[in-house]
Structure 1
Amino acid sequence: MLSLLITLPILGILCISLVPEYKANLIKQIAFLCSFFTFILSIFLWIFFDNSSSKFQFIEYFDWMSIFNIYFFLGIDGISLFFVILSTFLVSICILNSWSSVKKHLKKYYICFLLMDSFLIIVFSVLDVVVFYIFFESILIPMFLVIGVWGSRTRKLKAAYQFFLYTLIGSLFMLLAIFYMFFETGTTDFQILNTVVFSEEKELFLWLAFFLSFSVKVPMVPFHIWLPEAHVEAPTSGSVILAGILLKMGTYGLLRFSLSLFPYASIYFTPFVYVLSAVAVIYTSLTTLRQIDLKKIIAYSSVAHMAFVTIGIFTFNLYGIEGSLLIMLSHGFISSALFLCIGVLYDRHHTRLIKYYSGLTQVMPLYSFFFLFFSMANLGFPGTSSFSGELLTLIGSYQSNTIVTFLASTGMILGAGYSLWLCNRVLFGPLTINYIIQYTDITRREFAILTPLLLCTIWMGVYPEIFLDPMHLSISNLLQKI
C-alpha cells in the first residue's frame, strides 16, 4: 500500500507531462484527482492500522543498492502514521487552493506539488537512514522552485536561496554522521542501528550532527532566520506546505532518529534543548507582537509552536511526547488554515500589511468567522486541537522540569496576546475604505477548503483519543529504549 501511495503522484506527473500547456483545466483536474485519491488511500492506512502492535506495519522491502547494504525499506508505526495522512491531505488542499491563483508555468507548478507529495510519504515511512536523507533533502528542490518561481514579491529569489542553503548546509553534518555509522556498523537499516550501542563520546558527536540538521528544519532559534522570509515570499500554497508539513520533518527526525539511536546523548543534551526551546517560545512570541505583515505573524508563531514541540519530545515521558505529536498535527491544520485565510485577502487586494485591513466583520462575515476560529485555535482555546496537545505537553514537562513548564506557559500567554490583537486589528473596528473600496466574502471553493480544516481542528480537540490510540505503544516502545 505504501508503494502505491508513493507511485500515484508519480503517475499523476506523467499524465500531466503529456497534456498540452494550454489545457489548463485538464492539468488542474488531473493534479487534484491524483492527490485526492492518494489522500483517500492514505486513510486506509489508518483504518487497517493495528493499534495493539508497536511494530512497524505495512512493511515493504526493495533491493536498491544491495552492494552497499542499502535497501528501500518502508514501514510505518503510530508515530509516522498521521504524518503520511497529513502530507497527502495538505497537498490536496494546496492544489485546490491554487485553482485560480496560478497563471504561469502551470504544469511545472503542479508537478512540484505532486513530487513533494511522493517525497513526503517516503520521508515519513522509509526505514533506511541513507534513503531517508536522500528524500529529506530532495524535498528542497521542488520547494525551492515553488518559492523562487511562483513567489509573490521581488525578494522571492533571495528567500528561495536562503531557504535552500540554510537547510542544505545544516544537513551535510547529518550526512557525515550517516557515513560514519555506515563504516562503523556496515548497515544503514534503522531497525538494526536501533540495536547498536555506540560509545558515549561517539553518541554525543553523532547526536549533534543529527540535531544540527533537524534544528534548521524545525526551525529552532537561532536557525530560524530563513523561515519568515520564505513564508512571506512563497505563494499561499507554498506557505501551507512549508508550515503544515515541512517543519514537522525536523521534529519527526528528532523523535524518530535522535532519541532512538542516541538515547544517552539525548538525555545529556536535554538541558541544552530546553534552554533553546524556552528562549524560542518567549523570543518569537514577543517578536510576533511587533510584526506588521500578516504572514510574518503566523510564521513567527510557528517557530514558537515548534519550540513547544521540542520541549514535549525531550520530556521523555508518555504525556510530553504524545502532546508534542498532537501539537504537530494540530499545527498542520491551524497554521495551514491561517495562511489560507491570509491568501484570501492577498488574492483580492495584493497586500498583507495589517494597516490596510480593519472591520472585516462588516463586509466579510463568513471569512471573519473562519479567521477568528483559527486564531482562537492557534492560541490553544479549549475544545480545539492545540489545547489538547499543549495540555499534555505541559503535564509532561511539569513532570520533567517545572521551570521550563513555567517559561513555556508564558509563551502561551503571549500567544493569546498576539492572536487576540491580530483579530482585533483585522476583523473589528471601523472599516478602512480609504485603501480598499470593494470587498467580497469567501467563495464556495474557499469555503470547501477551510471547512475540512475546521472540522479536523474540532475533532482533535474534542476527541483526541482516536489520534492517541495508535501512538501509545510506539511511544512506549521508544521510551523503553531511553
Structure 2
Amino acid sequence: MSFPWLTVLWVLPLVGAVATAVVPARAPQAARVVALVAALATLGVGAGLAVSFDTTAGAEQYQFVESHSWIPAFGTGYTLGLDGIALALVLLTVVLVPILLLAAWRDVPAEQDASRPRRTHTYVALFLAVESMVLMSFLALDVLLFYVFFEAMLIPMYFLLGGFGPAAGAAPRARAAAKFLLYNLAGGLVMLAAVIGLYVASAGESSPFDSGTFDLRALSTAISSGALDLDPAVANALFLGFMFAFAVKAPLWPLHTWLPGAAAEATPASAVLMMAVVDKVGTFAMLRYCLHLFPDATRTFTPLILTLAVVSIVYGAILAIGQTDVMRLIAYTSLSHFGFIVLGIFALTSQGQAGSTLYMVNHGISTAALMLIAGFLVSRRGTRAIEAFGGVRKVAPVLAGTFLIAGLATLSLPGLAPFVSEFLVLIGTFTRYPVAAVVASTALVLAAVYVLWLYQRLMTGPVKDGNESITDLGKREIAVVAPLVALLLVLGFFPRPVLDVVTPAVEGTLVTIGEHDPAPDVGGPASAVAERGDR
C-alpha cells in the first residue's frame, strides 16, 4: 500500500489547529507561528503531490487514491483521489492560506488578547480548520464523504466571519455571518435530500449494484455506460438538488445576496478565505458531481444555467460600478467572475472548462491581492467609504502601485493571469453558445469602468484631508503582496503548467458525459461549393 499522502494533506492543518490549543494563553505570537508552520507544512505536501502528479498521456485520471471501508451498510467509504482539476484547486488553497495567515498577523489587537484570552489562538485555528475541510472536499471520491465536509466547513467559516473584525461593526457582522450560514445550510439541506435520493436510485431494481452506493467513480461509470438508467424526472430533480447547493456556495445570481455583506463586514483575510477558497468548492462540485452524475440533466438545464451565469456576469459588474464601499465593490466583482466560471463549465467544451478551472485559480489570486491591499488601506484610514480617499499614491506609492496591478488583473488585462482564463471561457462558450458569449463580453468594458474609476477615486488627485498620515506597505505586507503579484505575472505569461494538469481531467469529464467540442464552421464560398458537390 502506498503512503497516504492525501490523508496527510488534509489532516496536517487540522493537527495545526489543535496544536494552537496547547499554546499558552499568554503567547498569542507563538500561536500565530504554530499556525503558519502548519500551513507551510501543508504547502510542502501539496507541492510534493504536484511534482509527483503524472500528466503524461494515458495516466490515470484519479491518482494517489486511498480507499477504506467507512460505513459498509450505507455503501459509503473513505475514498480519496486527486485529478488535475482538484490538484489545481488544492495548490490554490495551500498557497493562499499561509499568505492569509501572514496578512492576518495583526487582525486581533493586543488589547483584545488581554481582555479575551486565546482570541488569537481561536482566530488562526479557524483558518486551519477551514483549510482542512476545503482540502477534503477537493479530495473526496465518495458523495456522502464530500457532503459531510461540504457542510462542516460552514461552522468554522461562520465563526471567522461573525467573530472577528472591528468592534464597532459587531452587529452588522453578526447579521452578515448569520445570513451566510442560513443560505448555505438551506442549500445543504436540499442537497442532502438529493444525496439520499441518489443512494435510493443506486439501490433500485435496475441498478447494477448489489446495494446502494455513494462511490463517485462507480456511479459515474454506471450512469455514463447506461448500466444505471435513472428516470429522467428523477435525474432532473437530483441534479437541481445538487446544483442549488453549489449555486448558493459559488455564489450564482439570484442566490448571491449573502456575499457582499459577509465580504465587507469580515476581516480582509477571512473575506479572501471565503471568496477565493471556500466558494471555489461550489464551482468545483458543479464539474465533479453535476456533470459526472447527471449528464442528461446537465444538457436539459444548460440553457437556464447559462442564462443565470450571464446575468451574474453583467449584474455583478453593474452593481460594482455603483458601490460607495470599497470592500462591497470587490465582493460584487467576484459575483461577476463566478458567472464567468459557471459559464465556462456549462459551455460543455474543453476550452470552456479548462478556462473555468484556470479562472478559479486566477480569480483566487487576483481577488486575494485586491482585497488584502484594500484591507491594508482601509485599516490605515479607518473607513471603507470610497469618498474618504484620494491622492493615496502620493503618500503610499507602493500600496497604490500594487493595488493598480491587482485591479488590472481583475479586469483581465493581457499579460496578467485572469486574461488567459477569461479568453478561454469566452472562446469555449462562443463555439457553442455565441449569444451568451457576446453578452458576457460586455462585462469586459464594465470591469474597466469599475476598476479604473475605483483607482482614480482612491489613489489619484490631491491628498484629501485625513489621508496625509497613510503609510506605505511595511515589510510584512510586502511579503504578503509580492508572491500574489508574482503569480499574476507568471501565470499571465506562462499558464501552460496549470493547463497541462487541468486539460486531461477536463477531457475525461467530457468523455464521461458524452460530449465533444463542436467542429469549427469555416463557412464561405469554398464550403458552399463543397456542400453542393456532396449533394
Partner residue, 2:88: 82
Partner residue, 1:72: 78
Q: Distance in 1 between matches of 2:291 and 2:11?
A: 31
Moved more, 30-39 or 145-154: 145-154
- Local SS of the residue matching 1:50: coil
Give the letter for the 2:6 counterpart. Answer: L
Partner of residue 25 from structure 2, selected from 18, 21, 24:
21
Partner residue, 1:475: 506
Partner residue, 1:151: 165
Q: Distance in 2 between matches of 1:114 and 1:374?
A: 26
Contact 1:54–1:477 under 8 Å retained in 2: no
Give the letter for the 1:341 counterpart. Answer: I
Partner of residue 473 from structure 2, selected from 416, 419, 442:
442
The alpha-carbon deviation at position 148 of structure 1 amounts to 1.0
Partner residue, 2:430: 398
Give the letter for the 2:198 counterpart. Answer: M
Q: Distance in 2 between matches of 1:37 and 1:380?
A: 32
Partner residue, 2:186: 169
Partner residue, 2:298: 266
Partner residue, 2:222: 196
User: Can you list the C-alpha shifts for 1:381-416, whole angstroms capped at 9, x where unaligned?
Assistant: 001111000111111011011111111100111011
Q: Distance in 2 between matches of 1:90 and 1:414?
A: 28
Q: Distance in 1 between matches of 2:222 and 2:102?
A: 45
The alpha-carbon deviation at position 436 of structure 1 amounts to 3.3
Aligned sequence identity (%): 34
Q: Distance in 2 between matches of 1:225 and 1:390?
A: 24
Contact 2:221–2:512 under 8 Å retained in 1: no
Alignment: residue pair count? 481
The alpha-carbon deviation at position 15 of structure 1 amounts to 1.9
Partner residue, 2:495: 464
The alpha-carbon deviation at position 196 of structure 1 amounts to 3.0
Partner of residue 347 from structure 2, selected from 309, 315, 337:
315
Partner residue, 2:260: 228
Task: Give the 5 Å matches for 1:120-135.
Answer: 120-135=134-149
User: Can you list the C-alpha shifts for 1:50-74, whole angstroms capped at 9, x where unaligned?
Assistant: 0022420011123222232211111
Give the letter for the 2:473 counterpart. Answer: I
Partner of residue 255 from structure 1, selected from 284, 287, 297:
287
Q: Distance in 2 between matches of 1:33 and 1:356?
A: 38
Q: Distance in 2 between matches of 1:29 and 1:173?
A: 40
Correspondence 1:341 to 2:373: yes
Give the letter for the 1:469 counterpart. Answer: D
Q: Distance in 1 between matches of 2:305 and 2:11?
A: 38
Partner residue, 1:138: 152
Q: Distance in 2 between matches of 1:416 and 1:273?
A: 26
- Local SS of the residue matching 2:70: strand
Give the letter for the 2:506 counterpart. Answer: I
Partner residue, 2:66: 60
User: Can you list the C-alpha shifts for 1:87-114, whole angstroms capped at 9, x where unaligned?
Assistant: 1111111111111221341111111111
Q: Distance in 2 between matches of 1:375 and 1:14?
A: 37
Q: Distance in 1 between matches of 2:440 and 2:492?
A: 20
Contact 1:54–1:474 under 8 Å retained in 2: no
Q: Distance in 2 between matches of 1:19 and 1:282?
A: 48
Contact 1:151–1:233 under 8 Å retained in 2: yes
Q: Distance in 2 between matches of 1:284 and 1:160?
A: 21
- Local SS of the residue matching 2:400: helix
Q: Distance in 1 between matches of 2:26 and 2:41?
A: 25
Contact 2:107–2:267 under 8 Å retained in 1: no
- TM-score normalised per structure 2: 0.88
Contact 1:54–1:473 under 8 Å retained in 2: no
Partner of residue 108 from structure 1, selected from 117, 122, 126:
122
- Local SS of the residue matching 1:61: strand
Moved more, 226-235 or 4-13: 4-13
- Local SS of the residue matching 2:53: coil
Q: Distance in 1 between matches of 2:60 and 2:459?
A: 47
Partner residue, 1:428: 460
Partner of residue 206 from structure 1, selected from 238, 261, 269:
238
User: Can you list the C-alpha shifts for 1:331-383, whole angstroms capped at 9, x where unaligned?
Assistant: 00000111101110122222111111111110101111100001001000001
Give unpaired runs (5+ residues) of structure 1.
none
- Local SS of the residue matching 1:74: strand
Contact 2:86–2:139 under 8 Å retained in 1: yes
Give the letter for the 1:139 counterpart. Answer: M
Moved more, 298-307 or 468-477: 468-477
- Local SS of the residue matching 2:85: coil
Give the letter for the 1:183 counterpart. Answer: V
Give unpaired runs (5+ residues) of structure 2.
113-118, 203-211, 224-229, 514-535
Give the letter for the 1:145 counterpart. Answer: F
Q: Distance in 1 between matches of 2:60 and 2:492?
A: 25
User: Can you list the C-alpha shifts for 1:108-127, whole angstroms capped at 9, x where unaligned?
Assistant: 11111111111111000010
The alpha-carbon deviation at position 421 of structure 1 amounts to 0.5
Contact 2:251–2:338 under 8 Å retained in 1: yes
- TM-score normalised per structure 1: 0.98
Q: Distance in 1 between matches of 2:502 and 2:101?
A: 29
